[in-house]
Amino acid sequence: MSHTDKIIRIKTVLARTGLSRSTMYRKIAEGSFPSQVKISIHGAGWRESSVNRWIADPIGYREEQPSQNS
């Protein structure tokens, strides 16, 4: 890996995105927010680069889904 990609915890993700916990998990289920990565048996975090990508384009962030614009 040529660059460092920090893992950030939920408090940081919520503070940086302005989302509530429930909204964030709903968006993960919809595929419109990055999924968390497991970092230990009971711990998870998010790749900072993925969260930054969402912050840069929250409307356009999608996992592979066809666009249905009129």
What mean pLDDT comes out for the span 9-25? 97
Q: Looking at the predicted structure, is the pLDDT value of residue 66 above 80?
A: no
pTM of the model: 0.79
Predicted local confidence at residue 3, as pLDDT: 62
Tell me the average pLDDT across 12-32.
97
* Spatial strand order in the sheet of 7-8: 7-8, 44-47, 37-38
Cα dihedral across residues 7, 45, 43, 63: positive or negative: negative
Say what the pLDDT of residue 62 is.
77
| pLDDT reading at 63 higher than 70 | no
